[in-house]
Amino acid sequence: MNAMGRTFMNPPLENPLTLLEAEIERLKGDGVKMMMVDFHAEATSEKIAMGRALDGKVSLVVGTHTHVQTADDTIFPGGTAYLTDAGMCGPEVSVLGREVDSVVWRFRTGLPTRFPVAKGPVRLCGVMVDVDEETGSAKSIERFSRLIAEESAAE
């Protein structure tokens, strides 16, 4: 119940930042130096805040979920590599991996329909990070986005 005596429909959830910080400390106590956090979140502000909060505590914070790769790969002052969204690995001509026509039809009509997986060349998106093995700090970060032709994918 809140201060006004109303009951909430959704129970309170654990705070991912405090849970992560506790787990990071536990891992560091076990001697782990290189750590990566894949933060699956909707809002870019949530991802950026998590990256900043964990700067100097982990090697990499990379966001996922929105499927669209961002162009903000950087290394924060404390040595943590960061990218808001790694991007999607899936069909190039698609709407988040689904056939274009069915998704557009759904938006146009508002009626339910199936979203078949799109076919054709695949785009691979991600990030590569070079980490200092002694300190766990990132030395470099590079996002990548490569189109893989159908002939190459079949080999």
3-state secondary structure of 46: helix
Q: Are 142 and 73 in contact (CB under 8 A)?
A: yes
Tokens of 99: 């056939």
Task: List the CATH code of the domain at 16-89+122-154.
Answer: 3.60.21.10
Q: Are 117 and 97 in contact (CB under 8 A)?
A: yes
Write down the pTM of the prediction: 0.84
The per-residue pLDDT string of the chain (155 residues; one tens digit each, 9 = 90 and over) reads 555 665 656 667 789 999 999 999 999 999 999 999 999 999 999 999 999 999 999 999 999 999 999 999 999 999 999 999 999 999 999 999 999 999 999 999 999 999 999 999 999 999 999 999 999 999 999 999 999 976 554 55
What does residue 25 show for φ and ψ, rounded to 5 degrees? -60, -40
Identify the CA nearest to 35 among candidates 21, 45, 52.
21
